[in-house]
């Protein structure tokens, strides 16, 4: 090959792997004190000049705003002029990203641990290794493929091999940049397989667990290679100019998977603009990832008593109860809201015991923001899974998505404590006896036929 062409190819490759730099980007914390403050901040969010880490803008709620170096003067002056106190909380975003990407130098090639954030390849290799080492209980599951042709991979843990078991579905990494969730989930898998604690053993063995650590593999990879703050998948089908929002057009190359599910799709808290973070896709279930998850969940209902659908996101320290579009007295729209709330509140209290980390409990509309088209709302509203909860894990925004790796294990430990409690309360209420909707339907048909025969 011609040397010039070689050089050109090498430089193209370098440009391609070059990640966006967040050097000297600062993050400010703002707490709106009045309704007027809320209006000002919402306007600022819509203008899109600054990068909001939080979309929930309510009186007395923290809002983290990331600001590029060249806009910091403007931002500080503006905040002062409207009387909003903007407290600098992160000096240099890139330094936190670099810290998250750090690999322990002493580690041997084969060693997998939780003192740093794993890449997709490392997670997938580890799953294979785990399946090999625990071949009596673990099976690799592949629930589908992505638009970039990556496998959406996880594992099934089945100790008892029962005919119609109690089943739990657990997933993380639906949003690419929420790195703490795949890390937490692989740690949980390790505990399910190796812990000697009686409570953890019960949790691991009484339920057949289907676990997906990275539900959005394309986005996850992209957040390592190109843009640490990437949230959506990497479907380029809706590519368009993002100049109207003052953004790079690449922003349109993705759909927010947690707005793409087919339950009340695009009714609230979602966008039809491909350049936004919450772009819901052109139609419900337009994305391979959301279709794969939904089909897999429906398949589990045919295999046994699917009682759990637990999603993991970050950050904010919340346990969310469906539905995400309702607040106040309307929360009772979810058929077993009372049970879900009781389970969530007790799980959150248990979580606090170890490190005094506090979680709030409620619907997204009440404690975060209104959302529609999310996976967990679909799991409740369409699939009718009994226990559907969503964890927003650490932290409260001190580091946000850039949570230091030293917090992976403490975060995971307290989540496991809460899951043990969650399962204990669920069992106590009687959900292990719950018959899934398929069986109920069969039962209703049986009853209907019997009635017809009886009256004939």
> Which residues of the chain form contacts with Zn ion (CB under 5 A)?
175, 313
Asked about 178 being catalytic, the answer comes back as: no
CB-nearer residue toward Zn ion: 153 or 175: 175
Place of tokens 């002062």: 80
CA distances from 366 to 22, 330, 372, 436 (A): 33, 10, 14, 29
CA distances from 381 to 118, 152, 340, 373, 397 (A): 34, 24, 14, 10, 30
Given 178, 370, 392, 421, the catalytic residue = 392
Rounded to the nearest whole angstrom, what is the least distance from the CB of residue 169 to Zn ion in the complex? 17
**Rg (alpha carbons) of the chain, rounded to whole number:** 23
The number of beta carbons lying within 10 Å of the beta carbon of residue 291 is 17
CB-nearer residue toward Zn ion: 166 or 374: 374
Rounded to the nearest whole angstrom, what is the least distance from the CB of residue 296 to Zn ion in the complex? 19
Rounded to the nearest whole angstrom, what is the least distance from the CB of residue 95 to Zn ion in the complex? 24
Q: How far apart are CA 172 and CA 179, in angstroms?
A: 9
Paired sense of beta strands 305-314 and 387-393, if any: parallel
CB-nearer residue toward Zn ion: 61 or 78: 61
Rounded to the nearest whole angstrom, what is the least distance from the CB of residue 369 to Zn ion in the complex? 12
Tell me which H or E stretch contains 10.
Answer: helix 3-17
CB-nearer residue toward Zn ion: 210 or 231: 231
CB-nearer residue toward Zn ion: 158 or 392: 392
For 273, residues 6+ apart whose C-beta sits below 8 A from its C-beta are 245, 279
CB-nearer residue toward Zn ion: 171 or 380: 171
Q: How far apart are CA 118 and CA 112, in angstroms?
A: 8
Q: How far apart are CA 62 and CA 82, in angstroms?
A: 17
Rounded to the nearest whole angstrom, what is the least distance from the CB of residue 277 to Zn ion in the complex? 10
Rounded to the nearest whole angstrom, what is the least distance from the CB of residue 311 to Zn ion in the complex? 8
Q: How far apart are CA 241 and CA 243, in angstroms?
A: 6
Q: Are 313 and 180 in contact (CB under 8 A)?
A: no
Tell me the catalytic residues: 392
């Amino acid at each position: 090959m011609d040397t010039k062409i070689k050089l050109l190819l090498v430089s193209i490759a370098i440009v391609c792997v070059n990640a966006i730099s967040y050097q000297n980007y600062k993050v400010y914390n703002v707490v709106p004190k009045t309704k007027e403050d809320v209006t000002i901040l919402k306007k600022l969010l819509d203008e899109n000049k600054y990068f909001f880490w939080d979309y929930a803008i309510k009186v007395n709620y923290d809002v983290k705003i990331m600001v590029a170096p060249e806009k910091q003067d403007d931002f500080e002056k503006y905040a002062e002029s409207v009387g909003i106190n903007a407290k600098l909380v992160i000096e240099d975003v890139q330094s936190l990203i670099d810290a998250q990407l750090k690999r322990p130098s002493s580690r041997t090639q084969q060693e997998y641990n939780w003192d740093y954030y794993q890449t997709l390849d490392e997670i997938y290799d580890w799953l294979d290794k785990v399946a090999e080492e625990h071949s009596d209980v673990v099976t690799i599951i592949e629930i589908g493929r992505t638009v970039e042709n990556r496998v959406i991979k996880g594992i099934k843990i089945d100790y008892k091999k029962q005919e119609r078991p109690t089943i739990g579905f657990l997933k993380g990494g639906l949003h690419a940049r929420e790195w703490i969730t795949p890390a937490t989930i692989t740690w949980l898998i390790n505990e399910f397989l190796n812990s000697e604690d009686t409570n953890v053993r019960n949790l691991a063995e009484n339920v057949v667990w289907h676990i997906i650590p990275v539900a959005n593999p394309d986005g996850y990879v992209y957040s390592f290679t190109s843009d640490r703050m990437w949230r959506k998948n990497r479907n380029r089908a809706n590519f368009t100019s993002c100049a109207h929002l003052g953004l790079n057009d690449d922003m349109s190359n993705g759909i927010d998977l947690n707005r793409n599910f087919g339950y009340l799709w695009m009714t609230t808290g979602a966008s039809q603009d491909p350049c936004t973070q919450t772009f819901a896709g052109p139609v419900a279930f337009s994305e391979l990832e959301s279709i794969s998850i939904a089909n897999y969940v429906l398949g589990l209902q045919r295999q046994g008593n699917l009682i759990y659908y637990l999603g993991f996101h970050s950050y904010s320290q919340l346990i969310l109860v469906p539905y995400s579009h309702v607040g106040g007295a309307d929360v009772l729209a979810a058929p077993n809201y009372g049970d879900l709330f009781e389970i969530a509140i007790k799980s959150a209290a248990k979580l606090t015991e170890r490190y005094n980390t506090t979680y709030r409990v409620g619907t997204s509309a009440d404690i975060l923001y209104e959302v529609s088209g999310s996976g967990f709302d679909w799991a409740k509203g369409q699939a009718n899974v009994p226990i559907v909860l969503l964890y927003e894990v650490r932290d409260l925004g001190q580091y946000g998505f850039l949570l230091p790796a030293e917090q992976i294990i403490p975060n995971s430990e307290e989540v496991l404590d809460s899951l043990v409690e969650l399962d204990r309360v669920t069992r106590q209420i009687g959900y292990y006896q719950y018959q899934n909707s398929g069986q109920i339907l069969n039962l209703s048909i049986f009853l209907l036929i019997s009635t017809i025969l009886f009256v004939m």
